[in-house]
Structure 1
Amino acid sequence: MVGRLLRYVCIFVVVAFVGEVAAKSVFPMPQLDAVCTRTVVRKDIVTLAPAELERFIRTVKEMHRRGWMDGFGSMHNHISHQIHGNEHFFAWHRRFLRHFEMLMQEIDPEAILPYWNWATHWQNPLTDPVLSSAYFGGNGRPSDNCVVDGAEERWGRNYPKRNCLTRKYRYGTSTGAFWPMRAVRDVMNTAVTHAQFRSRIENGPHGIVHLGLGGDFETMWAPVDVLFFMHHAMLDKVWAEWQSRDQIRFHSVDGYDASRQPVMAKSLMPFYGEEVGTALLTNGPGYCYIYDDLPAPVVVNPKRAARVAFNAELNTTSAEYYRPLAPPLMPAVAAGHIIPTVPARFVKPAGKALFAKEESPESALIEDFAPPPPLNESWMAKMNVDVEEAERMNRFVNNVVAQINSERRQGSNADAQDQN
C-alpha cells in the first residue's frame, strides 16, 4: 500500500515538474544502465588537468544553454521535504548527481563530474580557487547579488522566475568558516548507523556551505548553480568513505523517511522510483564511478544477520553520543538498550585548558582559527533542518577547532624552545 502510494506521488511530481519545464527545454530523463561498461574516476576539481577543466566547463555551459540547470533546480525544489531531514538524503542525492553526470555525457561522453573539497580552505574559503574567477566565481556583486565572474559569469536562470544566478555571502564579503576535514572524519569514526551519519553530516558541513555562499545556493532550487553538484559530490565522497569502513553499509540503510516510514534497501527513492539499494555502491550498475583517493568498493555478501537494519530510533537519540543541550531536550534511553562505545573526544566536553590561550610571547604570534558559525535559525526552519542536531554539531565542530588551535599553539611553543 505504501509503495503504491509512493508511486502515485512520484507520478504526480513528475507530471508537475515536466509541465513546468517543458515550455523552456526538453529535460532528458536517461535510465541507468544495467551494467557498467566502464568505471570513471571523479577527481578534486583543483587537480584536473587544464584540458579536463576546460571540458567540464564547456559541458556545463552547454547544459545551462539548453535550460537543463533550471530543470534540476525545479526537480530538487518540488520534492525538497522528501529528500532532506530523513534517510533518503544520501541515496537520493547520489542518484541526482548521476542524473546530472549522465546528461553531461550526452553532450560529451568523456565528461566526468568533479568534486569540490571545501575542507581544503575551510578556515578562509575566500582563498579557495574554486570560488575565484579562474573556476566558478565568487560572491555576487553588491547591487543585485549576480555572479559576474568565473565559468558562471552573468548566467541567467528561468526558475523559479527569470533572474540572474545569485550568491550572497553570509557575512557580506565573507562566507564564514567551513568544516575542517578532521571534524568530518571524527563524525565518520563515531557514527554507527546510517541515520546517525546522515543527520550529523546534513546538519553540519552540508548546511554550513549552503548558508555560507547564500543567494540561490541557500534555497531549495540551488541546483541552478553548478557548485551545488560539486558540493554534493564531496558529500557523496564522504558518504562513500564512511561506507567503506563496514561491508554492511554497502547493503543496508536504516532510519525513516519524511512520513516516518522505515527506509530500507528496498524502499523507493522519491521521483526516480528506484530502490534505495541500487544507489549504495558508487561502482554498481548504472553509477559506475569511484573517487580518486578511495579504493573501489569490493563487496561480499553479508551474513543474513548483518542485513537486519539498525534500530535508528534508539541509536540516534542515545544521550551518550552528545553533550545534551539541557535535560528536557534529550529523550531517555530505552531500558536495556546497549549504548555503543565512542571515542571520548566526541562526547566529552572540552576542558578549560583546551580553550585557554598560552600566555607566552611565542603563542601570541599564532592566530586562532575561527570555528564555523552556527546555522541561521530562520534558514533552518525553512530548510527542514533538525535544530537540535545542528546545535550539537556546532558545539562538536567548535571543540574540534579548539583542539586544532591548542595543538598549533603547543607546536609553536615547541618550535620556539628548539630554537632557544
Structure 2
Amino acid sequence: MKFFGYVLGLALLSTQAVALTPPAGADALAACSDVIVRKEVRSLSTAEWSAYKAAVQSAYTDKWIDWFGYLHDRIALTIHGNSMFLVYHRGLTRDYEKILRGYNPSVVVPYWNAMIDYQHPEQSVIFGADSLGGNGSGGSNCVSNGVPGTWQMTYPDSHCLCRQFSGGSTIPVWHSPEFITHVLQSSTTYAQLRAGIENSIHGAVHLGMGGDMDTMHSPSDPIFWVHHANIDRLYAQWQAVSPDDRTYMIDGDGPDGQPATVNMLLTGTTKPAYTVMRLGYGDMCYTYDTIQAANGNADALVKRTNQKCIKRPNKETEAIKQLPTKVLQQFYPSFANGTVNALENEMVSLTPSTPIGSNGNFTAPTPNEAFRGKMPAPSKLTDAWIKMQNACVEEVRELEQRACDMVEALNSANYLSPYLF
C-alpha cells in the first residue's frame, strides 16, 4: 500500500503557475494546454466505450480499484456531510481518470446521468451485460456479468464485487431531472448545492444499488466513478452559471467543524481546495459536453468570458414553464423570472436509451399521456445511510420533504413529465 500511496500523492499534485483571478491567499494555476471532454455514457462510440472498459479492467488487475476503495473508506467521515464533499470527490475522480489514461491516453471518464433513469433505475443500460454489469445474484450477491463479472476484491476482505438492489430485482424511484433542476436553480451558495446534491441523487444511487456501493469502500464498484462524474458535472454547471461568483465559492462547515475556505486542505493531501475548483486550470484539465453545448464554446472554462450562455428552447423546458406562476416561483426561480441559464436546467434533452456504444441515431419517444399528473416521489434515504454518511438528519429530511412538495405541486398542476414512459 505504500507504493500506491506514493503514486497517488503524485497524482494529487497540481501544476502551479500563472492564473487570471486566483482567490485571496491562493497561488495561481496555469491554464491547461489540452482540455478533455467528459460525455454521457450513452453518447460514447463503440470504440470509446471499449477503450474505457479495457482501461478499467487494467486498473482492477493492477489493484488500483482496491486502492481507491481503501482510500475512500479510510477517510470517509471527513469527506461526506460537509463542504469537503464536492471538492474532494472532484479531485478523487480526476485522479482515477489519470490512472486510466496511463493505460490509454485517449480514455476519458464518462458520466452517467442517473436522473434520466429515475423512474425505473434497474432498466438503465449502465447495468447491461456489455456495460458495467447488473444486480448481484446468489447468496453473496456477486455481479456475474459486465466489466466486473469476474472481479474478486481484496479490500476490506476477499470478496466478489457485490450489488444488492434495494428493491430486490428493482430499485425504488430516484430523483428526477425536474428536481435536480430545482436544486440547481434554488441553490445560491455552495453549501446549499452540496446538501441538495449529496442528499438526493448522490445518496439515492448508492443506496439503491446496494452491495459495495452501499459502503464506504464504494469506489470498488466501477459505477461509482461514472456516478461521481455526474455529481461533479452538476457542480461544474452550477459554477459555470456565474463563474465570477461561483468558481471559488465555498462556505458551510469543513470536516473539522470550522468554516470551509478555499485554502482548506483536501483530506489526506497537501492540496488546498482551490486547486480543484476551476476546471481548465492546474490539474483539472477537463470539461463536460453539456457545458460546451450551453456556452457554444469548446474552451468555455479555459478562457475567461462574461458571455451569457446560449438559450435554446426545447419541449421539456416549455412544458415546465407552463406551470402556474406560484409553482415556478417556489421551485424554479430562474424559470419564473425569465433568467434561466442552460447550465441550471437539467430538462434539456432525453438521454438516448439505446445501448452504450451503439453508434446509432436516437429518436426521443413521445411522453406518455398516461403519466400526466402522476410523477412519482423519490425514495428516502435510510437512517443507517444517513449515519454512515455523517449527514445531518434534519438537513436530509428537509430536502426529502421539499422533493415531495415539488412532486405534489407538479402533479396538482397536471404536469406531464417527458421522462416517464
* Shared fold, TM over 0.5: yes
RMSD: 2.7
Q: Which has the higher contact order (CA 8 A, sep 6+)?
A: 2
Q: Paired residue for 1:318? A: none
SS in structure 1 at match of 2:170: coil
Cα displacement (A) at 1:60: 0.2
Mapping 1:218-297, distance limit 5 Å = 218-246=214-242, 247-295=244-292, 296-297=300-301
Matches within 5 A, 1:326-337: none
1:94, 1:236 within 8 Å by CA — same for their partners in 2? yes
- For residues 367 and 249 of structure 1, the distance between their equivalents in structure 2, rounded to whole angstroms, comes to 35
User: 2:2 maps to what in 1?
Assistant: 18
The equivalent position to 1:190 in structure 2, one of 186, 191, 194, is 186
Q: What secondary structure is seen at the aligned counterpart in 2 of 1:258? A: coil
**What is the CA-CA distance between 1:251 and the residue it aligns to?**
2.2
Checking the alignment, whether the CA contact within 8 Å between 1:29 and 1:99 is kept in structure 2 is no
| Counterpart contact for 2:115–2:201, Cα < 8 Å | no
2:39 to 36, 43, 51: 43
Matches within 5 A, 1:173-188: 173-188=169-184
- 8 Å contact from structure 2 (residues 122, 170) kept in 1: yes
Task: Judge conservation of contact 1:243–1:249 (CA < 8 Å) in 2.
Answer: yes
CA distance in 2, matches of 1:208, 1:123: 12
- In the alignment, is the contact (CA less than 8 A) between 1:283 and 1:290 conserved in 2? yes
Whole-Å separation in 2 of the counterparts to 1:394 and 1:373: 9
Distance 1:289 1:370, change over 3 A: same
Given candidates 386, 396, 414, the residue that maps to 1:380 is 386
Equivalent residue, structure 1, for 2:310: none
What is the CA deviation profile of residues 263-301 of structure 1, one whole-angstrom value per residue up to 9, with x for unaligned ones? 111221111221111111121121110101113325659
Distance in 1 between the 2:289 and 2:7 partners?
33
Q: Structure 2 CA distance, aligned partners of 1:286 and 1:239?
A: 17
1:214 paired residue number: 210
Indicate the residue corresponding to 2:144 in structure 1: 148
Please name the residue that 1:305 is paired with: none
Using the TM superposition, give the Cα deviation of residue 175 of structure 1 relative to its aligned residue in structure 2, in angstroms.
1.4
User: Quick one: distance in 1 between partners of 2:171 and 2:255?
Assistant: 30
Segments of structure 2 that go 5 or more residues without pairing to the other structure are: 17-29, 293-299, 307-327, 334-367
* Matching residue of 1:114: 110
- In structure 2, relative to structure 1, the CA distance for the partners of 1:60 and 1:408 (3 Å cut) is farther
Q: State the Cα distance separating 1:252 from its structure 2 match.
A: 2.7
**Greater Cα radius of gyration, structure 1 or 2:** 1
Which letter does structure 2 place at the counterpart of 1:255?
Answer: G
2:330 aligned with 1:344: yes
TM-score of the two chains, using structure 1 as the length reference: 0.75
Equivalent positions of 1:358-377 (< 5 A) are 368-377=374-383
How is 1:294-309 mapped onto 2 (pairs within 5 angstroms)?
294-295=291-292, 296-297=300-301
**Larger displacement relative to structure 2 (48-57 or 369-378):** 369-378
SS of 2:92 mapped into structure 1:
helix
How many angstroms does 1:241 deviate by?
0.8
2:417, 2:287 → 1: CA distance? 37
Deviation at 1:366, TM superposition (A): 5.7
What is the letter of the counterpart of residue 274 of structure 2? G
Any residues of structure 2 matched to 1:304-315 within 5 Å, and which? none
- Aligned residues between the structures: 340
What is the CA–CA distance in structure 2 between the aligned matches of 1:205 and 1:365, rounded to whole Å? 22
Partner AA of 2:152 in structure 1 = G
Q: Which segment is superposed worse, 370-379 or 214-223?
A: 370-379
1:396 and 2:378 matched: no
- Closer/same/farther in 2, CA of residues 394 and 62 from structure 1, 3 Å limit: same
- Secondary structure of residue in 2 paired with 1:244: helix
